[in-house]
Amino acid sequence: MVVVGDSFVAGSQVSDDQGWTEVLRKQTGLSLYNLGVSGTGPNVYLNNFVLLGRQFKPETVVVTIFEGNDFRDAEPLKTAVDLQQQLQSSQQSINVADLAQASPVTRGLTRLFTEVLADIGKDTPVPGYQKDMGWMPLALNTPKGAQYYSFTPKKLTYLYTDEAGFESSSEWRNTKAVLEQFVMLSKKENFHLVFVYAPSAPHVVMPLAREKIPAEQLLRFARYRLETLSLDAEAFKRDVFAKLESRENVMMHWCAQNGVDCVSTTQPLREAAAAGHQVYFTYDQHWTPEGNAVVADVVWQASC
């Protein structure tokens, strides 16, 4: 098996043995090659597979699409040379960031903020916050106690589109062109192709607390990103929940039309969260070890 994707494949924020690809490899004994590269998008996934993944002659190829930015980051298809330059440029940016993180100045400032300044006034309530924005972080009451999830207004408003709007967008058009290339390669080289849909945290957890999210607070939260929202609070809340599934529905419908295996991790992650498993980190968009374990099981069921 060859797996391509971004940080959700690379295993961001978890140890090397907790990422879902490694969990899957250990559970099944598969020869699994992880070509995930953090901070990249669909064009690079295709490039990585064409230049690297094909040499393994895989029986199964898993392509993970993260709705949080993969549609937004997809560009019109480029030549292999252009894609290689894009990958190298991305890697150079990552290396510069790594150097900055390793700087003694950066480490010193981090210690100052975390060990000294972070404690100042930490128990002092923000005036008016509970009344105006108290639903965030989102608290889920579960059999194992409260679980908390936090995300920015951008993560929520990015999902605020209907199916027709997304289907006609350049975001979907560019991503679909990459998916079509994978389909063509699967037929030409006779491997089992599986697309995995990776949802963002608000998509997964918000329906679990719908009745507890105050409409006025939700609208106020969204207006940090979309200042011109003119709907009344209750109408906006209904609209938000009606549109959460739009991107996923479009992709799943396309897969069904084209006879391609496409598995969503949304419902399994949602069920795990409802049962009390913290599937995303509270203040990070990535899957926790528990979330990775859920995804490993879903992918195995879809690929076997």
29-60 pLDDT per residue, tens: 999 999 999 999 999 999 999 999 999 999 99
pLDDT of 93 = 47
Looking at residue 118, what is its pLDDT?
Answer: 63
Whole-angstrom distance, CA of residue 223 vs CA of residue 118: 28
**147 membership: H or E segment, kind and range:** strand 145-149
DSSP bridge pairs for 65? 197
pLDDT digits (tens, 9 = 90+) for 87-131: 555 455 445 555 555 567 776 777 776 677 666 766 677 778 888
Q: What is the pLDDT of residue 79?
A: 53
Question: Which tokens go with 264?
Answer: 């969503």
- Give the 3-state secondary structure of residue 279: coil
Section 267-278 average pLDDT = 97
Name the token pair of 295: 């995804």
Residues 134-160 have a mean pLDDT of 94
Give the largest Cα separation in the chain, rounded: 63
Q: What is the CA radius of gyration of the chain?
A: 20
Residue 18: pLDDT band (50, 70, 90) is very high
Q: Where are the domains of the chain?
A: 2-85+152-204+245-303
Task: Tell me what pLDDT residue 231 has.
Answer: 84
Q: What are residue 62's phi and psi, to 5 degrees?
A: -110, 125
CATH fold for domain 2-85+152-204+245-303? Rossmann fold (3.40.50)
At residue 93, the 3 state secondary structure works out as helix
> Is the pLDDT reported for residue 298 higher than 90?
yes
Residue 85, pLDDT score? 58
Q: Enumerate the H helices of the chain as residue ranges.
A: 7-10, 20-28, 42-51, 70-73, 80-102, 104-115, 129-133, 153-157, 163-167, 170-189, 201-205, 215-222, 233-243, 246-257, 266-274, 289-303
pLDDT tens digit string along 150-193? 999 999 999 999 999 999 999 999 999 999 999 999 999 999 99
Chain-wide mean pLDDT for the chain? 89
Indicate if the pLDDT at residue 290 is higher than 50: yes
